[in-house]
Amino acid sequence: MKRIPTLVIGAGQAGLAMSHCLTERSEPHVVLERGEVGNSWVHERWDSLTMQSPNWQSRLPGFAYSGPEPHGYMTMPEVATFLKSYAAHSCAPVETGTTVTSVARDGSAYVVATDKGNWRASNVVVASGACNRSAMPDFACEIPRRITQVTPLSYRNPSVLPSGGVLVVGASATGVQLAAEIHATGRPVTLATGNHIRMPRHYRGHDITWLMDQAGLFSATLDDVDDIARVRSLPSLQLIGDRSRRFLDLNALQEMGVEVTGRLVGYRDGTLMFSGALANAAELSDLKMNRALAAIDGWAAQSLLDFTESPRRFAPTSVPQNPRLALSLASGAISSIVWASGFQPDMSWLHLPVFDQRGRLRHDGGIVAPGLYALGLPFLRTRRSTFLDGVGDDARVLARHIAETRGRQAA
């Protein structure tokens, strides 16, 4: 059995940031990665996906984007190259092709089993990602096999789908992008819409992520929210990384010809059923967007910056007068379903009593238990934790905690 003070599981942006911060503190560690560096970006993203944040915002501890297009948006191959360059720059001690099969407590340490042998470590940092599994309802397994079902983890481009209509389930960033891409091939597309957050790509002449960052909307901490479980489960902003400044919301999709329905709530007797609360979901989404724009306007009024565009508000989301409530699969209206209904982390190998009744990892700002940490999860410590630009701050805090804990143990 190999021994190391700290093991980091995952060599994506979170695991590599953690490695860099541990190295800065001369903390011995090894990073275990099931595939290659940046594996999810290489193998589990669709072909046309781009980063939601502009290139200048691609910053990790000791490393940042330095290419010719700071206001562009990296493609998935570019993200993978960025992470591989970061690993080389940091001299990260990554062991690739090593799959963790179990993490269990053994006295004061952890035993980490892998397909290439076992490790014993005083500290384990779970940085394996928040999007390892697609969230799908239980009734998905009851849908007839003649209906092709894919998730964003297996979808690459519209060619993986058969001809015919497509139901896209979920209207966050993933859902709206895939609905637009698939509709552009001439297929009829229906978008089942639940909770979502509408947001323009640009506002007042600036990228919305820069404005939200400057206005402090990404700086909210755990102490600033009343219900952290709710905040951590919020959908991603309806944004697409596109320099054309495309505002890809439900209005734009409907103008293209995409049919919009309420949330998919069930399947019975050959029929898919949709919620009748589409108008309420759209109204709530508009409210959240307008609150964010008002906060930006308030910050802008206090800043010394010149803005080329004045404050504005966008037309409310338009919804059908009588949105569809049911869809019979026998009608042949759809031949495939794309489940863009969210993601979940996969920590089935973490054999410890650290999950709540809903299977969510319990942690306090990334500290799970003595010697056990998590990194790269939504709103780990701040709202920016979700972004490539935010994971570094979380990694620094956890690296300091590891170093200080070791120092107290040594004393």
pLDDT in tens, 314-359: 999 999 999 999 999 999 999 999 999 988 899 999 999 999 988 8
How far apart CA 396 and CA 205 sit, in angstroms, is 33
How far apart CA 113 and CA 99 sit, in angstroms, is 9
pLDDT band at 102 (very low <50, low <70, confident <90, very high): very high
Residues 277, 193 contacting (CB under 8 angstroms): no
For residue 393, what pLDDT is reported? 95
Cα dihedral sign, 18-351-114-347: negative
Residues 60, 391 contacting (CB under 8 angstroms): yes
Q: What is the mean pLDDT of the chain?
A: 94
Domains of the chain and CATH, by start? 2-132+345-410 (3.50.50.60), 135-339 (3.50.50.60)
Measured in residues, the chain has a length of 411
pLDDT band at 408 (very low <50, low <70, confident <90, very high): low
Task: Tell me the CA distances in angstroms from 223 to 28, 255, 362, 377, one per residue in order.
Answer: 32, 41, 17, 17
* Weakest-pLDDT range from 82-91, 144-153, 205-214, 217-226: 217-226
Residues 363, 369 contacting (CB under 8 angstroms): no
Write the DSSP symbol of residue 183.
H
pLDDT band at 411 (very low <50, low <70, confident <90, very high): very low
- pLDDT of 139 strictly over 80: yes
- pLDDT of 410 strictly over 50: no
Enter the tokens of residue 19: 């490695």
3 state DSSP class of 110: strand
For residue 14, what pLDDT is reported? 97
How far apart CA 15 and CA 31 sit, in angstroms, is 7
Residues 379, 232 contacting (CB under 8 angstroms): yes
- pLDDT of 230 strictly over 90: no
- DSSP line for 61-78: TTEE--SS-TTS--BHHH
How far apart CA 246 and CA 2 sit, in angstroms, is 52
Q: Which distant-in-sequence residues (6+ apart) come within 8 Å of 337 by Cβ?
A: 140, 143, 147, 148, 149, 150, 166, 167, 168, 169
For residue 233, what pLDDT is reported? 86
Q: Which distant-in-sequence residues (6+ apart) come within 8 Å of 398 by Cβ?
A: 18, 21, 125, 366, 367, 373, 375
Name residue, tokens 């297996």: 154
- Euclidean distance between the first and the last CA atom of the chain, given in angstroms as a whole number: 27
How far apart CA 95 and CA 7 sit, in angstroms, is 11
pLDDT band at 246 (very low <50, low <70, confident <90, very high): confident
